[in-house]
Structure 1
Amino acid sequence: MIANTIERKITVPGPRVSPLFGHITQVLNFVGDSIKLSSQLFDKYGSVVSLALGGGTNVYSPYPNCPGTVLGYGADVVREVTTQHDIYHKCPLTARIYSKRNDSARTQPFRHFLVGLFGVNGADHRQHRQLLMPAFHKSRIEAYRDEMVVITSSELEKLQVGEVVDTLELMRRLTMRIATKTLFGMDFSENGDRFTTLLKEVFGKFGSSAVLALPFDVPGFPFHKLLNDMVELDATMRDTIQQKRSAGIDSGDVLSMLIQARDAETGITLTDDELLGHLGVIYFAGHDTSANALTWTLFLLSQHPQVAADLLDELDSVLHGEAPSIEQLQQLPLLERVIKESMRVLSPVPWNGRVISQDTTFSGYDLPKGTEVFVSIYHTNRAPEIYSDPERFIPQRWEQIQPSIYEYNPFSAGSRVCIGAGFAMMEIKIILAMLLMRYRLEFLPQQVNAKGLIVLCAENGLSMRVCKQDREFNRGVGGVSGNVSEMVDLVE
């Protein structure tokens, strides 16, 4: 037993922690503010570090006997992890909660909830990705343009000049409607629809600290309420799948296409559980990550008036106040640079988590099977040798640089590069273009804390005043406090 413990010990440098509660405290600190803690560790120990010296931590892995957690960043680290698909495995987005899937009949939805492509590896992953690929073909994505425009227009029409809105909540509502329309073929607005409520409740709670800390199915506990909602959502989605199976046609939405998908060699189709897993992941990725990317972009534009003015000039000159066509989206280079720079500075997905499937060597260190590895997209996107003044928001830098996919990594790389990247970029461009031509969102002095593990979001939202597009871009500049003021150099 002693020999086995020594054999599994992680030798990557890292901080010493108390043997009593130190490992738990370190995990909680990382989950609470992963960017702050990892920045401190990288500064002290280098680009590869153990969350705790010798291991003993478990943040992400749902499997038993996790030896520990290793963090890394940089192009070489990204390349090492993303090109060795059979060694660096993904796990369901529910992370440690996934281990509860067989506890009872009520926890069975965890077998597929937020599993999808994240829960399959090796040959299974390749097969599932092939089945999903047609739903994200360029022509298929472009067919969603009209629906995106209609939904965006309807949300913008509801805004009142002078009102203060939570920009993050607004973007979540907008991207949620687009996600449900393109996924299920139904536009669930915020009109009290039960399906919409369930989506908000389940996806809003599954990663909460209260659920993670007390995962007990006891009345009054958040985990109990989560299971109630999940069981109901699961039944509702199964009914939707059955209705579309019975219809037997591809009605243009992702679900109906996935139901029809069939492996060319084996004839295998996706089961209901597999469909539910993929739909949950696609919904989450196409909803929350895009909402946060949009929110951070609007925030950065509010603090960089010249960039905002130049961008509006481009939009007006090409679009003349109209929603962009597919062709016109290719004629907006500054819009593209603004989005790319926003996702570089405040990465909507800050980490790429993996669990190694076999003993391996990582950046020169021997790691035992089961070790969880977190690659920091956030820190990789700030490498000073590639990005001068990396803490500054400078969209024009993209006129001169062409970093590799390992040096700029918002959508991952390798065989697990984000399948919905094209969808996300089109959605973000359309929403920004239509909003900015109609309104100016004015930042109000407030504390903005950017935190998150799966997504980087404004912890308490982002309040902005809706103004008509009056080009008064200098209004609302400044007054930023909170950790985002340490993450981004806001001095122009």
Structure 2
Amino acid sequence: MTAIANQKAWTIPGPSPLPLVGRTVNTINFAKDSIGYSSELFKTYGKVASIVAGGGTNLYSAASDCPGSVIAYGPEIVRQVATQTHIYHKAPLSGTLYRYKDISERTKPLKNYGVGLFGVNDETHLQQRKLMMPAFHHQQLHSYRDDMVAITQSEIEQIKMNEPCEINQFMKRLTLRIATKSLFGEDVTQKDQSAGSLLQEILNIQISPFTKLLPLDLPGFSFHRYLNYLSLFETQMKGIIAEKKAKTTPDSDVLSMLIKARYEDTGHPLTEDELIAHTGVLFLAGHETTANALTWTLLLLSQHPQVCNDLLDELDSTLHGDSPSVKQLQQLPLLERVIKESLRVITSVPWNGRVTSQTTELGGYLLPKGTEVFVSIYHTHHLSDIYRDPEAFNPNRWENINPSVYEYNPFSAGPRLCLGAAFAMMEIKIVLAMLLQRFRWEYLPVQKIDRNGFIAIKPKFGMQMKVCPQDREFVRGVGCVEGNVREMVKLPS
């Protein structure tokens, strides 16, 4: 009855559902290309729109009576959603699959997977966030630098010169190793089935539409495999936690820091379930998103030879071919501007998802309790009244502008600002500095560059680049980029 009443109160404009297939096609179109689909809706309906008129869609919320899905953008929208955290709640990253957590013994791992800080709100969120902050304090971040450098160097040594390299796969492997080493203290190359590689398999199965459409725990179904991997991950994590607790001298990885942490009011440690939930969600939130950010940045640099030349001048004059120290990372202003501009123009995490905990108003519309709200970071980053010529990749614009956290927020804003933002920025800087000094990355026009994904945006068909010695021939490979990436950024013909 609640869902029916909410739909009757649904006033947010959107496209009408198609006959017979109803809202399914609208939902699929949004999931397939959320940026392209939402761009059309924003043009037609303004800065707040419904994925389908009348509501009735459910992509993110685990509640069974979700009244519908709303998309919105703009600094004022960002500010309202980011700061009113008592109204705009987060939900587990497993999304609609989370509702199956109590069905059987085999679905119990869903209680921990993709939860962590994403599955708690209000005072509980503040308490647990405070507990986790020491693991990402700037002094602690310094301890992760050596692993980032060592892993990047080992990947560099495996690169075959003058041959094609699939960049997104390369970056995913590199960031997977960094994530598992920093979070769990293990390197995926040293184990056949690390916690990190298991999480990657879980994520791959989760994004398959068949997993959500047919959540059947029967052999041959993707949901069955999904639960198998969740069980393996829980078992392995319990083993890792037990090993770390038994050590007389704690390791310096994030999990070890969380094991040492204590609640301020009670002095109690995090439970085993909380440890599993927090480390898992940190991996999910930070691994593939960083890989995609690095992939898009290399593409943009490959198509802007002058920027690439100037950046290499800066790297050479400061680093002289060496890997950067933490102090030197602060002495590379153009590298900082290049990354900021890349995260602006092709926002690797384009949406900030929330669920309303009560009836509220957004952009002049009444949102029923339980409404999914997807705030577009991407479209906010492309507002021409904030960013002149917004589709241009222009790192130098950052010398003259200083947007607010609600105008530029690749890592969200407010009390839920990404805990790992500084970690991600340090990782991206180190990887780029090392790769660009050693190699020239020449774009190969063997595939269309179409965006793909909903939570994180990556090249749909991959991205091939030729790995060349760093000869500064940056004009090679410029042009010939095809695909809907051209809707997002201006590229040379």
| Structure 2 length-normalised TM | 0.97
CA offsets 1:68-112 (integer angstroms, 9 cap, x no match): 111100000000100101000000111111111112111111111
Which SS does the other structure have where 1:361 is aligned? strand
Partner of 2:410: 410
Which SS does the other structure have where 1:143 is aligned? helix
**Matches for 1:130-209 after TM superposition, within 5 Å:** 130-189=130-189, 192-193=192-193, 195=195, 197-209=197-209
**Matches for 1:103-114 after TM superposition, within 5 Å:** 103-114=103-114
| Cα pair distance change 1:3/1:93, threshold 3 Å | closer
**Matches for 1:358-437 after TM superposition, within 5 Å:** 358-437=358-437
Which SS does the other structure have where 2:440 is aligned? strand
Partner of 2:300: 300
| Cα pair distance change 1:222/1:258, threshold 3 Å | same
Q: Distance in 2 between matches of 1:6 and 1:68?
A: 9
Q: Distance in 1 between matches of 2:155 and 2:17?
A: 49
Is the CA contact 1:9–1:55 (under 8 Å) kept in the aligned structure 2? no
| Cα pair distance change 1:192/1:121, threshold 3 Å | same
| Cα pair distance change 1:2/1:294, threshold 3 Å | closer
> Structure 1 stretches (4+) deviating beyond 6 angstroms?
none
Partner of 2:323: 323
Partner of 2:67: 67
Which SS does the other structure have where 2:157 is aligned? helix
Is the CA contact 1:35–1:451 (under 8 Å) kept in the aligned structure 2? no
**Matches for 1:88-127 after TM superposition, within 5 Å:** 88-127=88-127
Partner of 2:284: 284
Partner of 1:453: 454
Which SS does the other structure have where 2:310 is aligned? helix
**Partner letter of residue 267 of structure 2?**
G
| Cα pair distance change 1:3/1:86, threshold 3 Å | closer
Which SS does the other structure have where 1:441 is aligned? strand
Residue 460 (structure 2) pairs with residue 467 (structure 1): no
Partner of 2:78: 78
Q: Distance in 2 between matches of 1:273 and 1:249?
A: 23
Deviation at 1:488, TM superposition (A): 1.3
Q: Distance in 2 between matches of 1:269 and 1:20?
A: 53
Q: Distance in 1 between matches of 2:84 and 2:157?
A: 48
Q: Distance in 2 between matches of 1:128 and 1:252?
A: 19
Deviation at 1:193, TM superposition (A): 4.2
**Partner letter of residue 467 of structure 1?**
C
**Partner letter of residue 201 of structure 2?**
E
Is the CA contact 2:165–2:464 (under 8 Å) kept in the aligned structure 1? yes
CA offsets 1:466-489 (integer angstroms, 9 cap, x no match): 111110101111121111122211
Partner of 1:11: 11
Partner of 1:439: 439
Q: Distance in 2 between matches of 1:64 and 1:408?
A: 33
| Cα pair distance change 1:3/1:113, threshold 3 Å | closer
Q: Distance in 2 between matches of 1:124 and 1:195?
A: 26
Which SS does the other structure have where 2:212 is aligned? helix
What percent of counterpart residues are identical? 55
Structure 2 gaps of 5+ residues are: none
Q: Distance in 2 between matches of 1:436 and 1:286?
A: 22
| Cα pair distance change 1:63/1:162, threshold 3 Å | same
Partner of 1:243: 243
How many residues align structurally?
A: 492
Q: Distance in 2 between matches of 1:435 and 1:2?
A: 55
Is the CA contact 1:8–1:67 (under 8 Å) kept in the aligned structure 2? no
Moved more, 268-277 or 299-308: 268-277
Which SS does the other structure have where 1:22 is aligned? coil
**Matches for 1:253-264 after TM superposition, within 5 Å:** 253-264=253-264
Residue 361 (structure 2) pairs with residue 357 (structure 1): no
Which SS does the other structure have where 2:55 is aligned? coil
Deviation at 1:460, TM superposition (A): 2.0
Q: Distance in 2 between matches of 1:330 and 1:46?
A: 40
CA offsets 1:150-171 (integer angstroms, 9 cap, x no match): 1111100110111211111111
**Partner letter of residue 451 of structure 2?**
A
Q: Distance in 2 between matches of 1:7 and 1:303?
A: 47
Is the CA contact 1:249–1:256 (under 8 Å) kept in the aligned structure 2? no
Is the CA contact 2:196–2:283 (under 8 Å) kept in the aligned structure 1? no
Q: Distance in 1 between matches of 2:359 and 2:352?
A: 19
Is the CA contact 2:79–2:406 (under 8 Å) kept in the aligned structure 1? yes
Is the CA contact 1:164–1:463 (under 8 Å) kept in the aligned structure 2? yes
CA offsets 1:30-61 (integer angstroms, 9 cap, x no match): 11110010000001111111111121111111
**Partner letter of residue 140 of structure 1?**
Q
**Matches for 1:9-88 after TM superposition, within 5 Å:** 9-18=9-18, 20-88=20-88
Q: Distance in 2 between matches of 1:199 and 1:411?
A: 22
Which SS does the other structure have where 1:354 is aligned? strand
Partner of 2:487: 486
| Cα pair distance change 1:2/1:401, threshold 3 Å | closer
Deviation at 1:22, TM superposition (A): 2.2
Q: Distance in 1 between matches of 2:3 and 2:321?
A: 70
**Partner letter of residue 335 of structure 2?**
L
Moved more, 288-297 or 208-217: 208-217
CA offsets 1:216-255 (integer angstroms, 9 cap, x no match): 1111111111211221121011111111122254311110
Partner of 1:212: 212
Moved more, 469-478 or 204-213: 204-213
Which SS does the other structure have where 1:389 is aligned? coil
Q: Distance in 1 between matches of 2:26 and 2:455?
A: 18
Which SS does the other structure have where 1:178 is aligned? helix
Is the CA contact 1:172–1:291 (under 8 Å) kept in the aligned structure 2? yes
Q: Distance in 2 between matches of 1:75 and 1:315?
A: 34
Which SS does the other structure have where 1:49 is aligned? strand
CA offsets 1:428-452 (integer angstroms, 9 cap, x no match): 0000000000001111002011122
Q: Distance in 1 between matches of 2:189 and 2:24?
A: 41
Deviation at 1:286, TM superposition (A): 2.3
Is the CA contact 2:289–2:349 (under 8 Å) kept in the aligned structure 1? yes
Is the CA contact 1:183–1:255 (under 8 Å) kept in the aligned structure 2? yes
Q: Distance in 2 between matches of 1:117 and 1:269?
A: 16
**Partner letter of residue 468 of structure 1?**
P
| Cα pair distance change 1:332/1:3, threshold 3 Å | closer
| Cα pair distance change 1:359/1:195, threshold 3 Å | closer
Is the CA contact 1:94–1:113 (under 8 Å) kept in the aligned structure 2? yes
Is the CA contact 1:355–1:373 (under 8 Å) kept in the aligned structure 2? yes
